[in-house]
Amino acid sequence: MTSPIDVEGGGTSVVVDGAPQPPTKPEDRKLEGRSPGQLMWIRFKRDRTGVISAFIVIFYFVVALAAPLISKLYGKDPYTIYADERPELFDSAGVPVQPNGGISSEFWFGLEPGNGYDVFTKLIYGIRTSLMISVAVTLAVVVTGILLGITAGYIGGRTDYAIGRVIDFLLAFPSQLFFIASMPVVVSLFVSPRDETPTYVRVLALIIVQWVLGWMSLARILRGTTLALREREFIEAAKVSGASPWRIIRKEILPNVVTPLLVQATYMLPSFVTIEAGLSFLGVGIVEPTPDWGQMFSKASTELVLQNDITYMIFPGVSMVIFVVAFNLLGDSVRDAFDPKSAR
C-alpha cells in the first residue's frame, strides 16, 4: 500500500501509484474577490423584505406593460359603457343591481356606478397610465439632477452659486399648490381653453409640471456628494494625468454617485405616483374616459358611489397602498444593501 511521500523542503507532497491527494487546507484555497456590485446583490438577496417588495414592484410593472394583452384575454376594455349596452345590469340610478358593485364571474371587480365601466380593466389600465407618467418624470428628474448637481459640485465657483440660487428659489414654491395652479396654465400653452384637451396634452403637462419642481432635492444631494469626491486622491490623480473635466465626471464621479442616485430614484417614483393621482383626483390631471388611479379615487368619492357601492374604493385604494409601501420598502432595502452600516 502506497502513501504520499513528503519532499524535504517542499511545500507539496508527491503522490505515488495514484494514491488520493490529501484534503486541501482551508487556508490553501484560492480566494475570489467580489466587486461592490456583487456584494450589494448578496446583501440584497438576504433581505427577505426587499426581495418580496421587488417581486411586488415587478408584478405591477408587468401588469402595466401587459394591460392590453390582459384586457384582450379577459374579453373587455376600460372604455365600454355597460350602462348603455347592458342596462339590465343597472337600476334607475345607474347602480349595479347585483351586490358589491356587480362582482361576478363575468365582471371580476364589478362595474363602476354611473357609466358602468368594467372596474378590472379600468384598474390595470389606470396602473399603466400612472406608472408611465411617473417613470417619465423620474427619468427626467434623474437626468436633470445629474447634469446640474454634478456640474455645480465639480465646477464650483459662479456656476455652483447660480445653480444653488435657482434650487433655493424653486424650493421656496409651495409644490402642491403650484402643481394645481400651473396645470391649467401649462395645458393652455398647447390647447386653447375653448377646445377639448387631448389626453396626450394632459400627460405631457403632468410630466412637465412635476419635473420642474421635482429635480432640486436630487441635484442638491448629488452636488454635496460631488463636492466630497472632487477632493479625493483619485480625482487629483486624474487631473494630473491630463484628463478632461468631462472624462473625470464620466469615468470617476458618475460611478461613485450611483448609490445615492439609485436610492433616491426608488423613493421619488412612488412619490410622483401619489402626486399624479392627487392631481387627477382634483380634476386637473387625467380625466374620463382615460383610466387612471387618481381619476378612480375621484369617482369613488362621489355621493353616488359612497352611498351605493363602497367596495369600489377598495380596488384602487388597496392597489396603490400596496405599490407605494412595496416601493418604499424596496428603497430601504437598496439603501441597506449599498451601505450595510446604515441602520433602519
> What percent of the chain has a predicted confidence (pLDDT) above 70?
87
What is the structure's pLDDT at 1? 46
Residue 214 falls inside a structural domain: yes
Burial readout 203-235 (b: 16 or more C-beta within 10 A, e: otherwise)? bbbbbbbbbbbbbbbbbbbbbebbeebbeeeeb
Which bin fits 116, alpha (ψ -120 to 50), beta or left (φ > 0)? left
Domain containing residue 330: CATH number = 1.10.3720.10
Q: What's the distance, Cα to Cα, between the start and end of the chain in Å?
A: 62
Average pLDDT of the residues in 51-70:
92
Check whether 8 has a pLDDT greater than 50: no
Residue 23 placed within a domain: no
| Per-residue pLDDT tens digits for 129-152 | 999 999 999 999 999 999 999 988
Q: What is the mean pLDDT of residues 180-205?
A: 82
pLDDT at 20 over 70: no
pLDDT at 7 over 50: no
Is residue 205 domain-resident? yes
Angle between helices 258-281 and 175-190 (to 10 degrees): 70
Top pLDDT among 303 and 119 is at 119
Place of cell 465646477: 155
Query: Which carries the bigger pLDDT value, residue 291 or residue 25?
Result: 291
200 pLDDT higher than 70? yes
Residue 18 pLDDT > 70? no
Q: Does residue 14 lie in a domain region?
A: no
Residues 316, 126 contacting (CB under 8 angstroms) = yes
- Within the chain, what is the greatest distance between any pair of CA atoms? 102
Q: Which of 136, 131, 40 is nearest to 338 (CA)?
A: 40
How many CB atoms within 10 Å of residue 146?
19
C-alpha cell of residue 259: 448609490
The reply to whether 16 falls in a domain is no
Is residue 12, in this structure, part of any structural domain at all? no
Mean pLDDT of 297-313: 80
| Residue 234 CA: distances (Å) to CA of 221, 249, 256, 260 | 21, 12, 12, 20
Distance between CA 61 and CA 127 in Å, rounded?
A: 8
Q: How many domains does the chain have?
A: 1
The answer on pLDDT for 273 being more than 80 is yes
Question: Which residues, 6+ apart, have CB-to-CB distance to 14 below 8 Å?
Answer: 4, 5, 6, 7
pLDDT (tens digit, 9 = 90+) per residue, 82-102? 888 888 888 877 788 887 778
Domain presence at residue 2: no
Name which residue leads in pLDDT, 128 or 310.
Answer: 128
Q: Which structural domain, as residue segments, surrounds residue 278?
A: 36-338
| C-alpha torsion angle, residues 162, 168, 172, 173 (rounded to 10) | 50
What are residue 111's DSSP bridge partners?
118
pLDDT band of residue 32 (cuts 50, 70, 90) is: low
pLDDT at 154: 86
pLDDT at position 176 over 60: yes
Please tell me the distance from the alpha carbon of residue 142 to that of residue 214, in angstroms, as a whole number: 9
Euclidean distance between CA atoms 168 and 151, whole angstroms: 16
User: Does residue 309 register a pLDDT over 60?
Assistant: yes
In a domain, 21, yes or no: no
User: Which pLDDT band holds residue 104 (cuts at 50, 70, 90)?
Assistant: confident
pLDDT of amino acid 144: 93
**E strands of the chain, at which residues?**
5-6, 13-14
In 3D space, the residue among 312, 324, 211 whose CA is nearest the CA of residue 277 turns out to be: 324
Q: Is the pLDDT of residue 274 over 70?
A: yes
